[in-house]
Structure 1
Amino acid sequence: MRAGSGQAVLAGVVTAVVGFTSAFAVVLTGLRHVGASPAQAASGLFAVCVTMGAGCLWFSLRYRRPLTMAWSTPGAALLASVAAPHGGYAAAVGAFVVAGVLYLLTGLVSPLGRLVARIPSSLASAMLAGVLLGLCVEPVRALTESPWAVAPVLLTWLVMLRLAPRWAVPVAFGVVLLVVLLSGSLAHVAADDLVPRLTWTTPHLEPGTALALGIPLYLVTMTGQNIPGVAVLSTYGYEVPFGPALTYTGAATVATAGLGGFSINLSAIAAALCASPTAHPDPDRRWIAGTTTGVVYVLFGPLAAAVVAITNAAPAGVVAAIAGVALLASFGTAAATALADEHDRVAAALTFVVAASGVSIAGLGAAFWALVAGAVLLLVTRRSHARG
């Protein structure tokens, strides 16, 4: 092994461990909210771990760059914020297919990607911030409902933010495991619950759900993950094969939607862990970190059933608390971006409050109407500025 390769391998392991433990609770919360059973949610977690791990391996090896992939955390947060889909979980799976087809088309048809990139960042970020708000307040609610279980988790998270911010959520999850163990809840977990398995649900294409969930899922993933992921890697001097990457993520999402694979994408925040000099002093050797990340993600897949069993055994509110604190940084970034441009601020504020309202009109969810309302107001205000 060349000098520094061990450092790259360690960076890849850290990326995968932090990426998984920091957001799996959001994924499970989102899948359960749209109607998935525990077995279906475990299957979904299994599916996205394997497909994003395979993507990390293929693209890092093929292009010799630290090209990493992840599940769509904003997408999972969106699932957790929408109204229960008409048609149940099968309809939600149909919306996953719609999102996957849109990723695939974006990868194959370049103008579509450019069109998405032209969506004002203020509106896209405001929609994402509104979607995240409901989950971010959950730790406060959980603390009032189960203080003895939630307080140690939040206190640990707070201390780790001071000592090692990157590990704040993973270490807090370790405390969740301790809380579950001390509560005696694990006694109710059967050995069969720990066995990894994939569960197929035939997608049902329900037009209202496809429009209310599939398109917003596509948009928050593109604007919150894929486009920022390209930007992060470019800051370290890496060109991203955007078309092939989107083609893969779209095909993988369509193929695994029935297994619960709701969306994978280019990694954004975690991408920096593999692409920065801390992964390897030589930029041409950082692909090792990307491939290692892929291997570890694939290995995490079979653990999905055990993770679901343990989180189901956790006291009420604990998993919601972990999901909420995991999303606080994303919420802060989205809110700051949304309100940064003074000229777009009112339109962004309207987008935010509509998205946060959780309303459903004509079968279409708040995320869809948030973009419509914000776009209309932005169009009006920009025209008035032009006349002035």
Structure 2
Amino acid sequence: MTAPHHRSHTSQSVITGIAAALIGYTSTFAVVLTGLQTVGADRRQAAAGLVALCFAIGVVSLVLSRRYRMPLTIAWSTPGAAVLVSAGQVTGGWAASVGAFIVAALLVVLTGMWPRLGRLVAAIPAPIAQAMLAGILLDLCLTPVSAVAEFPARVAPILAVWLVTFALSPRWAIVAAFATAMAVVSYDAITGAMPVIHWLPEAGATIPTLTWSAAVSIAIPLYIVTMAAQNVPGVAIMSSYGYTVPWRPALTATGLASAAAAPFGAHAVNLAAITAALPASGESHPDPAQRWRTSATLGMSYLVLGVITSALISFLSVAPPEIIATVAGLGLLGTLGSSLRAALVDEAVDRPADCRTAAVITFVVAASGTTIAGISSSFWALIAGLIVYGITGVLRREQPN
């Protein structure tokens, strides 16, 4: 390869890595911020959590991509953040939520070291797991509708820019919506009170505690959706581009990083699913053996984003929560659509009629937001779906042909 071509491909890897980081960050930043605050974090603690997530993503992406010379891309758990929104406040407050983050992280590490646990998670019918995720996401995705009714002058421009950009270049639609939201907040800051910008996180580590409701409402659903909606699809996407993910090292690294970052407010990092295709595809480099550089660039980009995250959250503090929630809802529409499709349209499962009914019930229970015995609807949705699936399957088998 000639020097000009080599420089051109290197630049391509760098640009793609930066673009993947920006898309991953802006598309779900609002979801994570909302999730952390919902389970008890104040603004300072949520900022520290997002900074810790960025640094964990950056370090693990750099280490794994360089060690295995493949585009192993790490991301925060977007479905996991949606679980936090669904869970709400748990007994024990923010400290109990942090304890639940650590439990979920250790379960991921255990999955990497003990394959039987991974097989147990895989035994949950995919439509039921996806229906639980869809039910969790529904309320978030409805937020733009109520927000535009309450704040039309602020929210309508965000929706309009998202729609136009989605029609022209879907990949960049949420980035454009995020930029528009920043412009709206900037206008509010100029015409009102300018926020005090904090460049460094103001909150330190939280001493974790653990309560039963936090373990069941947060840790278990967070672990399940992180595995089912992030790690497993991430491996499948990498496989489609010819890469075999080192399963045990990847789970161990992401689980340990999540556990280390959890006291600072990070809920979970995992193999990327949404943004995994960019570094793994020919868009990043024509030579598959060189595409690891794109993931390494993404890792460095997240380290930079971590530096500015605290200031960004300080700036956004002047905005009505509905502005951030609108961006979060728009960013999750694609995930909601794919989850509903996987839950209700997949004909590859055994006894599709049984599984579809169980998936619908799972979706309804998760979307209800009902808390029973201090345990959130996401857990009860999973239990209800599995019970319906099991009973209908058993009774149908016992019927004579």
1:257 aligns with 2:268: no
Structure 1 pair 150/192, CA: closer, same or farther in 2 (3 Å)? closer
1:121-270 to 2 correspondences below 5 Å: 121-184=126-189, 188-270=193-275
Per the alignment, residue 65 of structure 2 pairs with 60
Equivalent residue for 1:374? 385
Q: Which amino acid aligns with 1:26?
A: V
Paired with 2:324 and 2:127, the residues of 1 have a C-alpha distance of 30
1:380 Cα deviation from its structure 2 partner: 1.2
Q: Per-residue deviation at 1:116?
A: 1.1
Indicate the larger mover: 244-253 or 196-205. 196-205
With over 3 angstroms needed to count, the CA separation of the structure-2 counterparts of 1:193 and 1:243, relative to structure 1, is same
| Cα-to-partner distance string for 1:137-165 (whole Å, 9 max, x where unaligned) | 00001000000000000000000001111
* Shift of residue 191, structure 1, vs aligned partner: 4.2
Instruction: Report the alpha carbon displacement of residue 189 of structure 1 after superposing the two structures with TM.
Output: 4.2
Q: Which moved more, 1:254-263 or 1:306-315?
A: 306-315
Compared CA separation, residues 198 and 9, structure 1 to 2 (3 A): farther
Q: Which residue does 1:362 correspond to in 2?
A: 373
Q: Distance in 2 between matches of 1:186 and 1:238?
A: 52
Residue 286 (structure 2) pairs with residue 275 (structure 1) = no
Q: Does 1:349 align with 2:354?
A: no
List gaps (5 residues or longer) in structure 1: none
CA distance in structure 1 between the partners assigned to 2:211 and 2:256 by the alignment: 20
In structure 2, C-alpha distance between the alignment counterparts of 1:216 and 1:14, rounded to whole Å: 30
Cα separation, partners in 2 of 1:368 and 1:331, compared to 1, 3 Å: same
1:107 aligns to 2:78 (yes or no): no
Report how far residue 312 of structure 1 moved: 1.6
Equivalent pair of 1:138/1:324 in contact (CA under 8 Å): yes
Matched, 1:77 2:77: no
- State TM-score, norm by structure 1: 0.97
Residues 46 and 198 in structure 1, CA contact (< 8 A), matched pair in contact too: no
Q: Which 10-residue stretch deviates more, 190-199 or 371-380?
A: 190-199
Structure 2 CA distance for aligned equivalents of residues 236 and 205 of structure 1: 41
CA 1:197–1:294: 2 relative to 1, 3 Å? farther
Supply the AA of the counterpart residue of 1:177: M
Opposite residue 168 of structure 1, the aligned amino acid is: A
CA contact (8 A) 2:369 2:377 kept: yes
Amino acid at match of 1:284: A
Distance 1:198 1:234, change over 3 A: farther
Q: Which amino acid aligns with 1:363?
A: G
Q: Does the Cα contact within 8 Å between 2:155 and 2:326 map onto a contact in 1? A: yes
Percent identity over the alignment is 47
Aligned to 1:137, the other structure's residue is in SS state helix
CA change 1:109–1:39 in 2 (3 A) is same
Which 5+ residue runs of structure 2 have no aligned equivalent?
none
| Paired residue type of 1:356 | A
Distance in 1 between the 2:204 and 2:33 partners? 15
Contact 2:189 2:318 in 1 (8 A): no
What is the alpha-carbon distance in structure 2 between the residues aligned to residue 267 and residue 311 of structure 1?
A: 26
Name the amino acid aligned to 2:73.
Answer: T
* Per-residue deviation, 1:197: 4.6
The counterpart of 2:338, out of the listed 321, 333, 339, is 333
Q: TM-score, normalised by structure 2?
A: 0.94
Distance 1:316 1:290 in 2: 33
Would the aligned equivalents of 1:185 and 1:314 in 2 still touch at CA under 8 Å?
A: no
Work out whether residues 197 and 314 of structure 2, in 8 Å CA contact, stay in contact via their aligned partners in 1.
no
2:395 corresponds to:
384
Residues 11-90 of structure 1 mapped to structure 2, 5 A cutoff = 11-90=16-95
Relative distance call for 1:19 and 1:62 in structure 2 (3 A) is: same
CA displacement at 1:188 relative to structure 2: 3.3
Distance (Å, rounded) in 2 between the aligned partners of 1:127 and 1:101: 22
Q: 1:366 to 1:186 in 2, by over 3 A?
A: farther
Deviation at 1:185, TM superposition (A): 5.5
How many aligned positions are there? 388
Q: CA contact under 8 A between 2:189 and 2:195: conserved in structure 1? A: no
Q: Deviations over 1:151-197 (max 9, x none)?
A: 00000000000111111011111111111122236863444533345
RMSD of aligned residue pairs (Cα, Å): 1.4
Worse-superposed segment, 109-118 or 176-185: 176-185
Give the residue type in structure 2 aligned to 1:365.
Answer: S
| The one of 8, 29, 39 aligned to 2:13 | 8
